[in-house]
Structure 1
Amino acid sequence: MTRVDAHVHLWDPGLHDHAWLRSTEGLNRRFGLDDLVAAAGTVTAVAVQAGQSAAEARWLLGLAACSPHIAGVVVHGDLGDAAAVDVIDALRTEDGGHALVGVRDPIGGGTRLGRPQVRRSLAALGERGLAVDLLLGQATLGLAYQAARDLPQVRFVVDHAAISAVDVRSGGLGELAAQLAPLGGLPNVVCKLSGLGKATAAPGGVGLDEVVQVVLDVFGPHRLMFGSDWPVSTQWSPYEDVVAAVTRALGGLTADEAVAVWGGTAAGAYGLDPAKSPKDKRV
């Protein structure tokens, strides 16, 4: 089967401002398609926004238009802005616009998910068949559940297993499981096994196998997808080590379940075109 990496980033600080990169050692440089292919080989990926400009979104869509390696793009959207969906509509008409498969507003903490304008934007994205990625911070899992419950027509994708939304070092993985469980009960919510390096690689961190088991128990394999979070993940592990660690953690899956995690769930959630995929990268 073709493996889909449902969460990679591409950026060029020389073209677009990424303020958060300036204090991140080793990442404040260009990471382009050539770097991705060098790290991952023949890969089919979903590129997720790293900045907050329409210019970056156009750049990512342009890369998707000319490369078989980018099957979809998740762009930034300020969902609290009444014009946000108009901006998304305009992007979909531009070069590579067919690859715009999702929108992410890095909501983090606070109450944005409960605001009326954000809810209206979410509903409009659902009407357009676009997925909504959720990058959740502390105390936002409850609001995410309420939004997904109230908007069953919207496909929500929980990034990074919501590992940053719970203090697993003090509360333990039982707390993560308890807070994820309501989202796990909603059929319009899927989850990414991505971005786990910070929580699992540092001294005193939680075990990757344990995190994967929690998320498997909550969502089941048919609502999980793999994402490397490359190149952010390179702060802790090379690309191939990320893949190997997740492969080991998922070793007990059936063939059908593995197909879902390594590509099927992402293809369904994002409406990816299987015809636009390099064919020789298999797991």
Structure 2
Amino acid sequence: MTSIDAHVHLWDPDLHDHAWLRSAGELQRPFHLGDFTAAAGTATAVAVQAGRTVDEARWLLGLAARSQRLAGVVVSVDLAGPAVVDTIDALRAEDGGSTMVGLRDPVGAGEGARLGRARVRRSLAALGERGLAVDLLLGQGTLREAYAAARDLPQVRFVVDHAAISAVDVRREGLSEWAAQLTPLGRLPNVVCKLSGLGKATAEPGGVRLDDVVRVALDVFGPRRLMFGSDWPVSTQWSPYEDVAGATARVLGELTADEAAAVWGGTAIGAYGLDLPDTPAIDRMTMIQQGEH
């Protein structure tokens, strides 16, 4: 089975402006598919749009249409925008549009209430009807509203990015508070979770242990509703790619083969409706799991 990295970013500052990259040090350069291949071997990726423009979305969809290494694209949207559904429909009708598998509208700290707005709910419902998953990138204090949205829209598939580790100040409040707030989401059958973007929370002084974070996520969601994502290249600020995959693999080594296969690819295939070639591949993550590195 081909391992799937369900959270990868590709960007080119020469083509599309990313204001946050201007102060991002070594990340302020192009990161293309070839760079990901060099880091991850033959793993298949789901690309999550890092910027917000329609032009960048078209660029990513075009890349995915031309390469089997990209299983799909999660496009950035403004769910509160008046024309969001029309914009998505237009993109899906263009070249490469069939590679769109999901949408993401970052919900920052203090913005959780927007998930309850009528316009946002209508957008979520309409996009869910189109078979698109909705990624939730949640800031502090947003888990309650995220739960309410997912509960009220059971027909929509929601994907919790980065295990919502930034929705709680885990260094101050502890993993137990994060687990308590995350658990209601974990009880909803239309919600899955990404083991991604955990580098900052686990690498900073006074941070939490990656093993503990993964075990909590396993307890809350179960292995069949978890998926691996590296958050590459953002993750390289704290760890090389092989360290991110390897640290996750050590904890997942406690699972059965079927359970681990779900985290390494099966959950992503189901949540995003990915259409992958049947050709098996051995990639770096598989090698790490097998202890062959």
Match of 2:252 among 241, 246, 250: 250
Do the aligned partners of 1:72 and 1:100 also contact (CA within 8 Å) in 2?
yes
Q: Which runs of 5+ in 2 are unaligned?
A: 287-293
- What is residue 106 of structure 1 aligned with on the other side? 106
Distance in 1 (CA, whole Å) between partners of 2:90 and 2:178 is: 38
Deviations 1:243-278 (A, max 9, x none): 100001212100010010000000000000022877
* AA at the equivalent of 1:65: A
TM-score by length of 2: 0.95
Deviations 1:104-139 (A, max 9, x none): 011212121111111000000110010000000011
Say whether 1:230 aligns with 2:259. no
- What is residue 191 of structure 1 aligned with on the other side? 193
* AA at the equivalent of 1:201: A
Q: Partner of 2:216: helix, strand, or coil?
A: helix
Identity over aligned pairs, percent: 75
Q: Partner of 2:2: helix, strand, or coil?
A: coil
Distance in 1 (CA, whole Å) between partners of 2:125 and 2:279 is: 30
Question: How far has the Cα of 1:82 moved from its partner?
Answer: 2.0
Say whether 1:56 aligns with 2:56. yes
* AA at the equivalent of 1:97: G
Q: Partner of 2:72: helix, strand, or coil?
A: strand
- What is residue 73 of structure 1 aligned with on the other side? 73
* AA at the equivalent of 2:221: F
- What is residue 93 of structure 1 aligned with on the other side? 93
TM-score by length of 1: 0.98
Q: What's the C-alpha RMSD, in Å, of the aligned pairs?
A: 1.1
- What is residue 241 of structure 2 aligned with on the other side? 239
Question: How far has the Cα of 1:280 moved from its partner?
Answer: 3.4
- What is residue 265 of structure 1 aligned with on the other side? 267
- What is residue 26 of structure 2 aligned with on the other side? 26
Residues 7-46 of structure 1 correspond to what in structure 2 (within 5 A)? 7-46=7-46
- What is residue 160 of structure 1 aligned with on the other side? 162
Aligned structure 1 segments of 4 or more residues deviating by more than 3 angstroms: none
Residues 184-223 of structure 1 correspond to what in structure 2 (within 5 A)? 184-223=186-225
Alignment: residue pair count = 283
Q: Which runs of 5+ in 1 are unaligned?
A: none
Residues 76-155 of structure 1 correspond to what in structure 2 (within 5 A)? 76-109=76-109, 110=111, 111-155=113-157
Match of 1:279 among 272, 278, 281: 281
